[in-house]
Structure 1
Amino acid sequence: MSRIKALSVVFLSGGIVFFCLYQLSQLDFQTVLLLRSLHEPVVSRLAYLGNRLGDGLTLVLLCLGLWGVGYLLKNKVWQRAGIDGILAHALAGVAVQILKHLIGRPRPRWTHQDAFEYGPSWQGGLDAFPSGHAAASFAVAAVLARYFPAWRGLWYGSALFVGMARVAGGSHFPTDVLGGAVLGFLIGYIWARALKDWQENAVQALPLPLPLLIGGCAIFSNIFSHPVSDGVAIGTFWGGLLLLVAGIALRWRMVWQGSGPGHRTLLANSVIALGLAATTQALWVVVVTLLVCVVWWLNDYPDRQAVKSSGWLREAWFTSVLVIGLVMLQGLHGLVP
């Protein structure tokens, strides 16, 4: 990748991250008020489980267990995964503590209005951003996904559950968790690869968590906004559905032809992403999604993918999940009055 393209990826990705966090921060306090109004025991239990799962001791014991099993079985991959997991966890912890006390954002339980000051602080309770649990969980998940890619859904799913639990339990705002997740992922992704190529790995890693941010933007935008019935909004929604259908059709055509991942796959996924964004009827979500697609194209993402046909069953599963996701996304529209 040329230097200009690399710099473009870095600046665009960084700008998208900051913009998304800023936009979502406008909804943080509303989210806290919503959670405070809930008194479901199951939410408290899930929050407790997530807190324990993302606790530093739990993650360290997991990594030590991997190293120990690898040592007994003389398996270098397991040993390396355990060591890298512990080191990535430590690096994420150091980075989080520095940022926490430099930013000084109050935790939700200290917040009683939608306005508060930021600034360096060592005071307890003024250390919300970024979430340490989320950063550590995603750092370890990124390492384990590198060594055990077949199980990456489990690693990242568990880390996501930890982040959601921190919000549900009232320990963090959504943007605290998203910021911690991005930070932890970047640290784990870079650390699990050759450090001599850290700059190239950083450029590759930056676009990868952007879909998570866009998903958060779309979900929270729908929850706290009501469907608009004017002509432009309706046209945007139906245009989004058409893009969605076109993207799905393009993917199925590639399955029919037996072609593997490449630029056409990225084109289809970009069309699908823009379609989903348009169905939110939020212009800023559409614009940010378009910028993410540009970043992925600049990053030459398709050229690094293994050529492997997705298959009918996998594509059917993908389409089903997409349809269910669309229905759920629309069901969240105006959930909070």
Structure 2
Amino acid sequence: MVLLIKKFDDFILEFVQDNMRRPIMDKIMTFITALGNGGTLWIAIALYLIFYRGYKLTGIAVLMTLIVSTIFGEGIVKHVVRRVRPCNCKNNVQLLISKPISYSFPSGHTFSSFAVAGVLSAQFSEYKMIFLLIASLIAFSRLYLCVHYPTDIISGAVFGLLCAKLMILFFNCDYFQTNMLNIFNTNINLH
């Protein structure tokens, strides 16, 4: 099974590197991946929501989701699995970004992006496809830049969506609704 996963990862990664790398794509993917660095895009959206009347709690939900996904992905799973990144295993890789120092599995950019996209999609369902497209582009940029394997990306997306579901349940639970809504004096209905 492990050998099959390795063959799948190598095939997809080499296909992307051999067939999709172009100077314009290099610039686009470098920019897109930077949106996910440290949750930059998601923090900006959260701050906008916090200071925009009526969406304060949604902004806080986004920030908390980002924190939880980072703790779980970067702080726990990566240190349990300890998978070496493809850019550290392959000699002929020309990195377009600084070499990441953490482990590869799962992709933290993908994990946090899908987690936040899931929470935002629950609140703003009319923009669901946009949130998921942004998360998918950030995920693909990590593969394109050869800092993650496809299974790192896939697992990051799955973990992220599961994290989103758990955070939505938390934000909709009676305890949270009773105590936090009094503090923030606002309403939220995450589906």
TM-score range, shorter chain: 0.7 to 0.9
Helix, strand or coil at the partner of 1:54: helix
Who is 1:201 aligned against?
A: none
Find out whether 1:41 has 2:19 as its counterpart.
Answer: no
Partner of residue 105, structure 2: 129
The match for 2:32 among 46, 50, 75 is 50
Which 5+ residue runs of structure 1 have no aligned equivalent?
Answer: 1-18, 114-123, 198-337
CA distances 1:304-323 after superposition (whole Å, capped 9, x unpaired): xxxxxxxxxxxxxxxxxxxx
8 Å Cα contact 1:63-1:82 kept in structure 2: yes
The two structures have a TM-score, normalised by structure 2, of 0.76
Picking from 84, 96, 110, the partner of 1:106 is 84
CA drift at 1:36: 3.4
| 1:25–1:150 Cα change, 3 Å | farther
Distance change (3 Å), C-alpha of 1:126 and 1:136: closer
Identity of counterpart residues, as a percentage?
A: 24
> Do the aligned partners of 1:106 and 1:125 also contact (CA within 8 Å) in 2?
no
> Counterpart in 2 of 1:318?
none
Residue 84 of structure 1 deviates from its aligned partner by 0.4
| TM-score, scaled relative to structure 1 | 0.44
Cα 1:87–1:49 shift into 2, 3 Å: same
CA deviation map 1:81-109 (0-9, x unaligned):
11101001100000112111111111111
Residue 124 of structure 2: aligned partner? 148
Change (3 A) 1:37 1:138: same
Q: How many residues align?
A: 162
Aligned partner of residue 27 in structure 1, secondary structure? helix
- Structure 1 residues 232-311: aligned runs within 5 Å: none
Quick one: which amino acid aligns to residue 102 of structure 1?
A: V
Residue equivalent to 2:161:
185
Aligned equivalents of 2:18, 2:117: Cα separation in 1: 32
RMSD over equivalenced CA pairs, Å: 2.4
Does the CA-based 8 Å contact 1:107-1:127 persist in structure 2?
yes
Distance 1:23 1:83, change over 3 A: farther
The CA distance in 1 between the partners of 2:13 and 2:51, in whole Å, is: 41
Offset at residue 130 of structure 1 (A): 0.2
Three-state SS of the structure 2 residue aligned to 1:57 is helix
Contact 1:142/1:185 (CA < 8 Å) preserved in 2?
yes
Structure with bigger gyration radius: 1
Secondary structure, counterpart of 2:128 in structure 1: helix
